[in-house]
Structure 1
Amino acid sequence: MTTRAAPWRRGSLDDGSPAPGPRFLPYHRLAHADPEHRWWKPLVELLLFGAFYLVLTIVFAVVWAVGLLAVRGEEALDEVFLAGAELDMMDPAIFFMLFFSLVLMIPALLAARAITGPRPLGLLLSVTGRLRRGFLGRCLLVALAVYAVGHGAALLVEYALLGSLTAPQPVEGFWWLIAMIVLVVPLQCAAEELVFRGYLMQTVGRWLRRPVFAILLPVPLFTFGHLYDTWGLLAVAVMAVVAGWLTWRTGGLEAAIALHVVNNVIATLFGALGLSDPDAEESSWVALVLSAGMQVLFAWLVVRSARRRGVEVTRTVHPPRPPVLLAAAPTAGVFGAGGPGHGPGAWVCPGPPACPGHWSGPVPGAASRAFVD
């Protein structure tokens, strides 16, 4: 039997003790809430995820290419991929291809998890087995406030140093980009969190109990999936650590998704407004300090709010109830007080559907005890 734990409870979490009693599982250990889990299942899940994602990507690529040719003409693919050395991410077609191809990780991972477990499927989202939408909404509001203050302060510093601010210059296809920023970018962020903070953290947690391993081991995979210079990669690594710590500390992906969504939406919005170059691979220590400061502040505010509101951070797993041994009453007469056959050595059955009858004859070799389910 599995239930939600009291939030922010004191005491040891999932100490691995063989002693009977409930286990309080943090997010990265939720695989152990499923009695059918096995150590090798994450490897099978990875193979299935890769296969599903490959198929979905191929189908999407064909549909996207056909749509591009239909809208822009026969030379469209050559213009997009061969005309320049780099893809223009602010081209609406390229933007959609890059971001939606990552969204496809959601159905691929969910299909793999549905086959291999653990169950329920919602354990990939939080300790409650579902997406906590109210908590997600509060995290989004906090992230928006923190990023508004952070970028507002940066603009004030820019104005103080330069005496002017960069005027917005919306790129071509601006409104198409706005629609995709609103509809596709949040799904892309959720997909990356499901994989890097969901699947990977819970995979490490199946094998290693300490959360520090589940938080830090996926960081290089997330970091080097981005093409930036050293400062940019450090900023991505800081975000990965903060998101992983928040996932463990709040018992789910909601805070990490909110942080990722607001970060990416603002970055792509600035690109669509011509205020930044989203294709740039160079960064600076100033950008690193600004982004790290906003993310740490966001984490502190979210954890403080979660503690105050009693957000669930563990899942209580009770051990299976063992059979109860009861001493059989002496037989009273032919049928006795317990009915026919309810004498010493008789097995008392609870009835259908567990067994076709309500009693049976003596169990061979049994002592004067009865097993009751």
Structure 2
Amino acid sequence: MRAAPWSPGPLDDHRPEPAPRVLPYHRLAHADPEHRWWKPLVELLLFGAFYLVLTVVFGIVWAVGLMAVRGEEAMDDLVLDATALDIMDPAIFFMLFFSLVLMIPALLAARAIMGPRPIGLLLSVTGRLRWGFLARCLLVALAIYALGHAAALLLELAMLGTPPPPRPVAGFWWLIAMIVLVVPLQCAAEELVFRGYLLQTVGRWLRRPVFAILLPVPLFTFGHLYDAWGLLAVAVMAVVAGWLTWRTGGLEAAIALHVVNNVVATLFGAFGLADPDAQESTGLALALSAAMQVLFAWLAVRSARKHGVEVTRTVRPPRPAVLGPGAPAWGGPGAGAWVCPGPPACPGHWAGQAPGPVPQRLP
């Protein structure tokens, strides 16, 4: 019997399987075989372009809505004196916080184009948000912040006497609704960018987690307008959140810490117990916030260990293709190809490679 004109190489392959790779969170980009070092730079450009378009559209819609409700003079006041914005004005509050939420769809769209995939690798090593772990972290953070601020209140009572009574600001219930619905999304958006995208971007290039944790800290810190004490408090939170993301294999603990911190701060402002526009802080406030965040980090890691939360992702490299007998690789070593055996099985052709790469893989 004459052999078929095109015959595949042998299926038997006794080479050992490629060793699996165990990747921590900041190295998850290497789970994608299409990973390239330059891709996060293009992803950043796409993210910036998408975010710019979304914020412009949102700004127009918000301005039209504001003028429809309050009249055209409302926009005139904002344009003439933008430095006098009252963050506790419900309209201003919504504009400032929701504009940050738009980073979520912008970054996800950029990641969908550039990879790595699945997109959920931005959230955790499992490729998804681990809701149970997030809920436990939220409860732990709420308990710590409640105890911490209660202790601060008792100290204030002992030193200064009776504090002033709460004085809810105008539009109080609108603010409460936005604090519950918008602030958590704003915190998740910042974590997705500063502890998700940036940690994994640095991790594409540098193996050690300390670089992935610390290099994004200045970008997050100087995005806030505070004095030296306030900026130090933000930097401490950035370091704790980055360490938690690496140590727990995902963003859940960092999101929980950020959400509770911001919700508590804005609630104090809504009740008139703190000035949300204040840019000055103190060493005592820094010590209190740092102590609460370090305690939370310790308890969150213990919870992750107790409940068996995955902190790494195991990836098996693709098995190299099988080559036909005696055939050189098509396009490089290990690519594989179908082979024409030449006459007489394939009259008129000399033995050689097929005119296209058709790699054969083991089942």
Cα-to-partner distance string for 1:38-58 (whole Å, 9 max, x where unaligned): 000000000000000000000
Selected match of 1:126 from 124, 127, 130: 124
The answer on whether the counterparts of 1:325 and 1:372 sit within 8 Å (CA) in structure 2 is no
Cα-to-partner distance string for 1:153-188 (whole Å, 9 max, x where unaligned): 001111111221231100001000000000000000
> The residue matched to 2:169 in structure 1 has which SS?
coil
Tell me the distance in 1 between the aligned counterparts of 2:66 and 2:238. 34
Q: 2:237 maps to which residue? A: 239
The answer on whether the counterparts of 2:18 and 2:319 sit within 8 Å (CA) in structure 1 is no
**1:287 aligned onto 2:246:** no
Q: How far has the Cα of 1:322 moved from its partner?
A: 3.2
Selected match of 1:164 from 162, 166, 169: 162
Cα-to-partner distance string for 1:22-50 (whole Å, 9 max, x where unaligned): 11100000000000010000000000000
The answer on whether the counterparts of 2:248 and 2:309 sit within 8 Å (CA) in structure 1 is yes
Selected match of 1:193 from 191, 198, 205: 191
> The residue matched to 2:281 in structure 1 has which SS?
coil
Tell me the distance in 1 between the aligned counterparts of 2:289 and 2:147. 12
Judged with a 3 Å threshold, the aligned counterparts in structure 2 of structure 1 residues 118 and 365 are, in CA distance, closer, same or farther, namely: closer
What pairs up with 1:290-329 in 2 under 5 angstroms? 290-323=288-321
Selected match of 2:55 from 48, 51, 57: 57
The AA in structure 2 aligned to 1:309 is: H
Q: How far has the Cα of 1:323 moved from its partner?
A: 4.5
The answer on whether the counterparts of 2:40 and 2:201 sit within 8 Å (CA) in structure 1 is yes
Q: How far has the Cα of 1:83 moved from its partner?
A: 4.7
Q: 2:222 maps to which residue? A: 224
Tell me the distance in 1 between the aligned counterparts of 2:82 and 2:136. 43
Q: How far has the Cα of 1:82 moved from its partner?
A: 2.5
The AA in structure 1 aligned to 2:292 is: M
Tell me the distance in 2 between the aligned counterparts of 1:313 and 1:83. 48
Judged with a 3 Å threshold, the aligned counterparts in structure 2 of structure 1 residues 372 and 303 are, in CA distance, closer, same or farther, namely: closer
Tell me the distance in 1 between the aligned counterparts of 2:81 and 2:171. 19
What pairs up with 1:132-171 in 2 under 5 angstroms? 132-171=130-169
Tell me the distance in 1 between the aligned counterparts of 2:65 and 2:179. 20
Q: 1:39 maps to which residue? A: 37
Tell me the distance in 1 between the aligned counterparts of 2:76 and 2:29. 47
Q: How far has the Cα of 1:130 moved from its partner?
A: 0.3
Tell me the distance in 2 between the aligned counterparts of 1:302 and 1:101. 30
The answer on whether the counterparts of 1:22 and 1:316 sit within 8 Å (CA) in structure 2 is yes
The AA in structure 2 aligned to 1:236 is: V
The AA in structure 2 aligned to 1:34 is: D
Q: 1:265 maps to which residue? A: 263
Judged with a 3 Å threshold, the aligned counterparts in structure 2 of structure 1 residues 168 and 37 are, in CA distance, closer, same or farther, namely: same
TM-score w.r.t. structure 1 length?
Answer: 0.83
> The residue matched to 2:210 in structure 1 has which SS?
helix
Tell me the distance in 2 between the aligned counterparts of 1:85 and 1:212. 38
TM-score w.r.t. structure 2 length?
Answer: 0.85
The AA in structure 1 aligned to 2:129 is: L
Tell me the distance in 2 between the aligned counterparts of 1:265 and 1:124. 24
> The residue matched to 1:111 in structure 2 has which SS?
helix
Selected match of 1:91 from 86, 89, 92: 89
Alpha-carbon RMSD: 2.3
Q: Percent same amino acid among aligned pairs?
A: 82
**1:117 aligned onto 2:115:** yes
The answer on whether the counterparts of 1:29 and 1:206 sit within 8 Å (CA) in structure 2 is yes
Q: How far has the Cα of 1:345 moved from its partner?
A: 8.6
Structure 2: stretches of 5+ with no match in the other structure: 1-16, 328-336, 339-344, 354-359
Tell me the distance in 1 between the aligned counterparts of 2:60 and 2:320. 55
> The residue matched to 1:75 in structure 2 has which SS?
helix
Structure 1: stretches of 5+ with no match in the other structure: 1-18, 327-343, 347-353, 356-360
The answer on whether the counterparts of 1:81 and 1:87 sit within 8 Å (CA) in structure 2 is no
Question: What is the total number of aligned residue pairs between the two structures?
Answer: 323
Tell me the distance in 2 between the aligned counterparts of 1:244 and 1:269. 25
Q: How far has the Cα of 1:79 moved from its partner?
A: 2.3
> The residue matched to 1:194 in structure 2 has which SS?
helix
Tell me the distance in 2 between the aligned counterparts of 1:199 and 1:65. 31
Q: How far has the Cα of 1:111 moved from its partner?
A: 0.2
